[in-house]
């Protein structure tokens, strides 16, 4: 490039480059210097993109002892800044600049790149390697920011960035690799899909206060995302459209504290098969309109829904199916509006609140070690009976086991009795009749001492019957004294001999009554013995 062809502004930049000095073309009037006014800027602020390219690829040698750099403020860049496949060894720092065309940095090897408070009709940096930071703070980019396959050894700073590509990809960052933190906070906003599938972040990923808008699809698509530290989607974070974190891995904790997600009739938050090394916080006024799913997720610590608002009335509002977590905190701000699916989840501690129970649950296969609070068996049965799938034995057995682990054997038996009664409602009429008799007589074996009252009644019945009609003596040579009470008791007792049963022999209908008393006494006696054994020996 012939230096004689340069404009005064370009000559200033050309001469400043060898020492890395800054060139400021702004007017000093903040309103006029706003990049939205770039079309009104005079030619004195124009810089051709080809001049920038020439400087970046070595048209001018650095001054000995200095660090050469392109540092430009307040310019309107004319033409295409095309650095595709280029080797750039000097920093590029543009502040408050406006581009007429989208810069092309695809597969370039760059030093640190700063484009702060700039306006760009797109930025294509697919496959780019940046040895240092990529700093886009406060910039406005329309038409899409492409960082797919890019590799950044420092920080990616998109704080305050405004991305606009409605119906398309606002940020295309598939397989992006950043070795330090990624900042999408302090007013970051995107209209269009923000894509981070398969991306790898060596530090923290920060979407604090970000606003994402793509109601027709995914607002944030980050399946298989790998973040070494924490992920922050809090501090006023909002997303209109689905947030997809399926199969993502978070090395620290994941925070959606106070976030608002909206995807009516869809999955507002899809965190299926997510892996988090510490805790997940969807709490403190977290709101989701649409389903929230952690199906198959693994959370080493706590999954907190404390103070959350979950709404998906027509379907599943919360799915933690097959979740593995140390603790699940389900004390939501209000009852979950929709189905809460806890089936086949494995949780050490389940903490909930009866006041926030959803109307509809799915609990089959749910495994937990401790309930907090345990509540009474009668209250917990109301919880079990909210299962939309109807009767299933496992939830009753799991609850009874939890009560026995706490030493509350009577509550455990009450739950198992309720299990038998609820099962009866699903059976055929003959089985219902048999079950009803078992319930009335011995409470399906879980009320064994009810049999003792039946034994007393049987004793009274026999005493009255045989008092009114003494059975004849079996051997006419004997003349024993008959006692109706002890005779009946002798019939009832399966072992032992009171000297009455072997001497007297009733006839006719009284023989049938005696046989009935013997059989009933045997059954009821064994039931009482089994109940006493369970009461005296705790499992």
pLDDT tens-digit series, residues 453-478: 777 877 888 788 778 777 767 666 66
**pLDDT: which is higher, 421 or 341:** 341
- For 387, the token pair is 């299962």
Report CA-CA distances (Å) from 93 to 15, 54, 90: 16, 15, 10
Pairing state between β 109-110 and 123-124: unpaired
pTM, to two decimals? 0.82
Task: Calculate mean pLDDT across residues 431-450.
Answer: 63
Average the pLDDT over 309-332 and give the result. Answer: 96
Residue 183 pLDDT more than 90?
yes
Q: pLDDT tens digits, residue range 504-536?
A: 777 777 787 877 777 777 666 666 565 555 544
Per-residue pLDDT for 164 more than 50? Answer: yes
Instruction: Report the pLDDT value the prediction gives residue 451, as an integer from 0 to 100.
Output: 65
- Does 8 score more than 60 pLDDT? yes
pLDDT, tens digit, 9 for 90 and up, residues 21-61: 999 999 999 999 999 999 999 999 999 999 999 999 999 99
Residue 535's pLDDT is 47
Mean pLDDT of 126-148: 97
More confident residue, 226 or 510: 226
pLDDT (0 to 100) of residue 517: 76
- CA-to-CA separations, 289 to 64, 105, 296, 336, 354, in angstroms, rounded: 61, 39, 21, 11, 22
pLDDT at residue 536, rounded to an integer: 46
Q: Is the pLDDT of residue 446 over 80?
A: no
pLDDT at 444: 58
Asked whether residue 437 carries a pLDDT value surpassing 70, the answer given is no
**pLDDT above 70 coverage of the chain, percent:** 89
Q: Judge whether residue 314 has pLDDT over 80.
A: yes
Which token pair is 507? 């006839």
pLDDT at 329: 97
Q: How far apart are CA 144 and CA 379, in angstroms?
A: 55
Residues in CB range of 336: below 8 A, 6 or more apart: 310, 311, 317, 318, 356, 358
Each residue's pLDDT tens digit, 94-107: 999 999 999 999 99
Residue 47 has, within 13 A of its CA and on its CB side, a CA count of 30
| Least confident window among 186-200, 240-254, 454-468 | 454-468
Percent of the chain with pLDDT over 90: 68
| Model confidence at 155: pLDDT above 80 | yes
- Quick one: pLDDT band at residue 167, thresholds 50, 70, 90? very high
Which segment of 181-190, 251-260, 436-445, 530-539 scores lowest on mean pLDDT?
530-539
Q: pLDDT tens for residues 332-363?
A: 999 999 999 999 999 999 999 998 899 899 99
- Reduced to 3 states (helix: H, G, I; strand: E, B; else coil), residue 537 is coil
């Amino acid at each position: 490039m012939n230096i004689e062809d340069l404009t005064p502004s370009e000559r200033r930049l050309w001469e400043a480059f060898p020492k890395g000095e800054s060139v400021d073309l702004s007017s000093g009037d903040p309103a006029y210097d706003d990049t939205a006014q770039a079309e009104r800027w005079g030619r004195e602020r124009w810089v051709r993109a080809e001049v920038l390219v020439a400087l970046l690829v070595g048209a001018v040698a650095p001054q000995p002892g200095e660090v050469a750099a392109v540092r430009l403020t307040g310019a309107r860049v004319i033409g295409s800044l095309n650095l595709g496949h280029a080797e750039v060894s000097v920093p590029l720092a543009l502040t408050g600049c406006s581009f007429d065309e989208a810069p092309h940095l695809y597969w370039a090897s760059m030093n640190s790149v700063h484009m702060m408070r700039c306006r760009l009709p797109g930025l294509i940096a697919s496959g780019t390697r940046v040895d240092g930071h990529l700093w886009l703070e406060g910039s406005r980019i329309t038409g899409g920011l492409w960082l797919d396959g890019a590799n950044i050894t420092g920080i990616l700073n998109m704080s305050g960035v405004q991305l606009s590509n409605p119906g398309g990809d606002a940020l295309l960052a598939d397989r992006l690799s950043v070795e330090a933190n990624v900042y999408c906070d302090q007013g970051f906003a995107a209209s269009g899909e923000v894509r981070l599938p398969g991306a790898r972040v060596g530090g923290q990923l920060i979407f604090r206060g970000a606003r994402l808008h793509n109601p027709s699809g995914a607002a944030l698509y980050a399946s298989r995302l790998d973040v070494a530290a924490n992920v922050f989607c809090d501090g006023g974070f909002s997303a209109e459209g689905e947030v997809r974190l399926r199969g993502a891995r978070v090395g620290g904790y994941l925070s959606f504290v106070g976030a608002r997600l909206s995807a009516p009739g869809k999955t507002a938050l899809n965190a299926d098969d997510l892996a988090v090394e510490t805790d997940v916080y969807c709490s403190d006024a977290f709101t989701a309109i649409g389903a929230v799913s952690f199906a198959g997720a693994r959370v080493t610590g706590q999954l907190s829904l404390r103070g959350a608002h979950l709404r998906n009335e027509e379907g599943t509002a919360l799915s933690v199916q097959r979740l593995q977590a140390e603790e699940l905190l389900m004390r939501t701000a209000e009852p979950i509006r929709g189905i809460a699916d806890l089936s086949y989840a494995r949780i050490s501690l389940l903490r909930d609140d009866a006041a926030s129970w959803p109307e509809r649950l799915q609990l089959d296969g749910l495994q937990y070690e401790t309930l907090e609070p345990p509540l009474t068996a009668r209250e917990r049965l109301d919880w079990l009976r909210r299962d939309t799938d109807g009767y299933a034995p496992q939830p009753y057995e799991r609850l009874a086991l939890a009560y026995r682990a706490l030493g509350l054997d009577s509550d455990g038996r009450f739950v198992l009795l309720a299990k038998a009664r609820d099962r009866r409602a699903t059976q055929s009429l003959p089985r219902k009749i048999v079950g009803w008799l078992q319930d009335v007589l011995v409470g399906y074996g879980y009320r064994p001492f009810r049999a003792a009252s039946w034994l007393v009644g049987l004793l009274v019945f026999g005493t009255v019957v045989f008092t009114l009609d003494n059975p004849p003596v079996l051997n006419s040579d004997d003349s024993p004294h008959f006692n109706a009470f002890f005779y009946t008791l002798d019939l009832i007792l399966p072992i032992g001999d009171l000297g009455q049963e072997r001497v007297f022999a009733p006839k006719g209908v009284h023989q049938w009554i005696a046989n009935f008393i013997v059989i009933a006494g045997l059954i009821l006696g064994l039931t009482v013995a089994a109940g006493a054994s369970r009461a005296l020996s705790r499992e």
